[in-house]
Structure 1
Amino acid sequence: MSQRSDLRRRKATLEGEWFRLVPRLKTTGPAAGGGADALRHEVTESWARSLSSVDPGRDSAPVTDGGTVHHRWTDSPLRRPVDDLADELRGIADDAGFVTAVTDESGTILWTCGGRTMTRRAERVNFAPGGRWDEQAMGTNALSLALRTGRPSSVFSAEHLVTALHGWVCYCAPVHGPDGRVLGVLDMSTTWDRSNPLAMSTVRSLVSVIEARLRTELPRRPRDNPGQVRLTCLGSDQAVREEQPLALRPRQLEILTLLALEPDGFSPERLREALYGDRAVTASTFKAEISHLRRALSGGIATRRYALTTPVSCDAVDVLRALENGDAETALRLYRGPLLPRSAAPGIEQWRTYLEVAVREAVLASTRPEHALRYGERAPYDVEVHEHALRLLDQGDARRAVAAGRLSTALRD
């Protein structure tokens, strides 16, 4: 009974702070934060970031196309370890009155389980497959904080920005792949009055089991079914399979990048032109590069029309997908620099320009100043971006000094 009373008092205190502070943040920005002992700094910062894109009065999360979600879950590296733990996850959810969710790295829910009552409550706010719970879509919540910080997070009652979630408490931890990348998050949520500090340790233990299975899963795969290739081509150039770099020359990385960006493939003539332009290169040289890449991919390139026949995940493709979904936050997080910066291949140069322009336009269209500030770190001479940041930042925001300094430097050069 004492615990329930403590939770009720905490809920009431947070709701009071929410009604005091959120309206001020909407009108005066981040400078209005602070001064509330009951509120964590990361929560008020998230509120300030979220208010530019999220209406606190919205009643549910936006939804991604169901077919897309099905394919994402089918292809997700988390699917197999989660399937293996499904009975345990369902048992915990049923016994404790929770609903459990697994998301991808963008914050889109791919899988859930729970008892009938909690599942119905969750579905009313689209806490279900297809629901988008990143900060830009649904404001401050445990999933968005865990994705942003890379650390476990819990959010109680009115710490959520959206009022429809003030009756909830959520416990969440990111799931890291063997290479350290965040692959998604595991979340357990319930009503505020069931809040229990042991829930977080349960989530962390389950994530540890999933991560251990991810580390041991790839070596068990048969030789004729090699693991998925991960291509990193933004700001760097490397292809990795099962944590081992593939021995590819720069030209072969260019070919792999072009094939990843254009899944419909290339005719031999068009691919050759994309690689060499007007340079005189023999057919045997061109075919030798293709043959070497095909061997490295265990035959994963079609012969007559060059296209990938084996799964290849690519950071540039991930950025394009995020931009297509209107998710500038994820696109900026993944965009770590120009496409294959040392390449002079005409096809790569075209895609490099396309990506740079697309990301920059998303920044200029965003109403969130942190997007312009983050992009401005990599574009020190982009006057328009720095001016955009200054327009979005409130007069009392300390970050104006950073934007103003960058603008001054850009105007001098």
Structure 2
Amino acid sequence: MPDIRGVAGVYWGMPAIRPVVAASWQRSTAAGVQPAEAQAPLVLARAALDDYRTAHPLWRAMPVLHEVLEQAVLDCDALLAVADEHGQLLFVSGSSAARDRAERIGFAEGSSWDERIVGTNAPGTALALGEPVMVRQDEHFREAVHQWSCVAVPIRDPLSGGVIGAVDLTGGDHIIVPQTMAMLRAAARLAEMELMRSGVPAQRSAARVSALGVDSAALVIGDRTISLSPRHSEIVAMLVAHPRGLTGDEIACGLYESESGQSTVRAELLRLRSVLGDDVLASRPYRLTVDLAADWTDLQERLASGDLEQALRAYVGPLLPHSLAPAVVEMREVLHEALAAAVRACGRPDLLASWTRQPWAADDVRAWEALAQLLPMTSPMRAVAQAHIQRLL
């Protein structure tokens, strides 16, 4: 059983815990994970799972992942698993004997291995950190998983750079070797190349800006990809919201709480024009001269059309999360609350569970309450939800 006293050095005579594991144990404890719990919860039943995973971007990459990894998985009597960005297992493959053993701990398609649900494990911790992770047997937070070791690597959207899932190899302690990590890294990169080949190039031909979950927006215009500064990201976000344009004074009001910053706006706009070009940013008033799609406006359209599932998947984080510009703060809060309200009212436990597992929604007590009300009394997720409600209240 994990003993958090061990994060300071040694626990029960074992060697010092690796920092990445100690930090994960602390997060698991804070989330209320119970080390003695035997199984991971099933959050996507078979009927819902089939529709969900065929609509997920990683569906397009599965043939590549299987081609690269499947024989190696069989040779070492391990399991290949692919999780979505929420830690839900979309695919699990391997020998029937290995799958049978794994199902005893709930390591099966449709189950959740989010770190905040089942504690330290390679796919869940890799998603939490956004980087590759190895977890040996006793490093798992839950006792039932101590017979397994696992290695996982995140898979990123090639356009936005956001994590959309993870590829994982789970088996005996013999898989914890550098070759396993190298193989999974290569497989993840091939999956990202396949996503680029099959879906992203058509999007990249148009002008597009991505600013959800990042402080510096990425702007794609034709063949150019521009990384905007945080201040230029704020200005572009304001101009996207006002296609007819804004005066310099209006931009200054949107950027600063007082008039003290107005003198710097003109210089910032001149620098932005030099970055974008006169053919993209016009003046009198300042406006974008190209049809610029944006990830947050796409999300708004999905939300307005009632496609909550795709809207939730597209929300990789708040709009320019650390911006203090009044105009951006208002846009960010309106978008976040609109999505939060729709999720709370949707009546779908899977979407509520996905929402509450995100760091920007972990303290949404009304969403946790809605989730608890929908889940049956026997559901492990209900106990998790009730624990979070008590902590927040």
Same fold, TM-score > 0.5, yes or no:
yes
Matched pairs, number:
288
Of 22, 45, 51, the residue aligned with 2:29 is 51
Q: For 1:349 and 1:195, how far apart are their aligned partners in 2? A: 44
Q: Which moved more, 1:357-366 or 1:107-116?
A: 357-366
Of 146, 149, 168, the residue aligned with 2:148 is 168
Give the TM-score taking structure 2 as reference length: 0.57
Alpha carbons of 1:125 and 1:240: their partners in 2 closer, same or farther (altered >3 Å)? farther
Q: Which moved more, 1:122-131 or 1:101-110?
A: 122-131
Give the match's secondary structure for 1:216: helix
What letter matches 2:321 in structure 1?
R
Alignment of 1:57-136 (within 5 A): 57-66=36-45, 67-136=47-116
* Deviation >6 Å, runs of 4+: 234-246, 309-312, 355-361
Could you tell me which runs of 5 or more consecutive residues in structure 1 were left unpaired when the two chains were aligned. Answer: 1-18, 256-291, 320-330, 367-390, 393-413
Alpha carbons of 1:58 and 1:205: their partners in 2 closer, same or farther (altered >3 Å)? same
> Which residue matches 1:328?
none
Cα deviation, residue 157, structure 1: 0.8
Alignment of 1:1-400 (within 5 A): 19=1, 22-23=2-3, 25=4, 33-35=8-10, 37-52=15-30, 53-66=32-45, 67-179=47-159, 180-192=161-173, 195-218=176-199, 232=211, 250=238, 253=241, 318=315, 336=321, 342=327, 351-352=335-336, 362-363=362-363
Cα deviation, residue 233, structure 1: 5.0
Alpha carbons of 1:133 and 1:239: their partners in 2 closer, same or farther (altered >3 Å)? farther
Identity of aligned residues (%): 26
Q: For 1:212 and 1:338, how far apart are their aligned partners in 2? A: 32
What letter matches 2:194 in structure 1?
R
Cα deviation, residue 213, structure 1: 2.2
Q: For 1:46 and 1:61, how far apart are their aligned partners in 2? A: 17
Give the match's secondary structure for 1:100: strand
Give the TM-score taking structure 1 as reference length: 0.54
Alpha carbons of 1:208 and 1:238: their partners in 2 closer, same or farther (altered >3 Å)? closer
Alpha carbons of 1:230 and 1:155: their partners in 2 closer, same or farther (altered >3 Å)? farther
Q: For 2:214 and 2:189, how far apart are their aligned partners in 1? A: 31
Cα deviation, residue 100, structure 1: 0.3
Q: For 2:63 and 2:338, how far apart are their aligned partners in 1? A: 39
On the 8 A contact 1:175/1:182 being kept in 2, the answer is yes
Alpha carbons of 1:200 and 1:360: their partners in 2 closer, same or farther (altered >3 Å)? closer
Q: For 1:192 and 1:219, how far apart are their aligned partners in 2? A: 38
Give the match's secondary structure for 2:128: helix
On the 8 A contact 2:118/2:142 being kept in 1, the answer is yes
Cα deviation, residue 192, structure 1: 3.0
Give the match's secondary structure for 2:141: coil
On the 8 A contact 1:339/1:351 being kept in 2, the answer is no
Give the match's secondary structure for 1:175: strand
Q: For 1:210 and 1:75, how far apart are their aligned partners in 2? A: 16
What letter matches 2:179 in structure 1?
L
Alpha carbons of 1:338 and 1:69: their partners in 2 closer, same or farther (altered >3 Å)? farther
Cα deviation, residue 97, structure 1: 1.0
What letter matches 1:108 in structure 2?
Q
CA displacement 1:355-374 (0-9 Å, x = unmatched): 789988842859xxxxxxxx
Cα deviation, residue 145, structure 1: 2.2
Over aligned residue pairs, what C-alpha RMSD do you find? 5.0
Q: For 2:310 and 2:128, how far apart are their aligned partners in 1? A: 21
On the 8 A contact 1:178/1:215 being kept in 2, the answer is yes
On the 8 A contact 1:168/1:192 being kept in 2, the answer is yes
Q: For 2:334 and 2:52, how far apart are their aligned partners in 1? A: 28
CA displacement 1:112-160 (0-9 Å, x = unmatched): 2111111112222222221111210110111122122222211111010
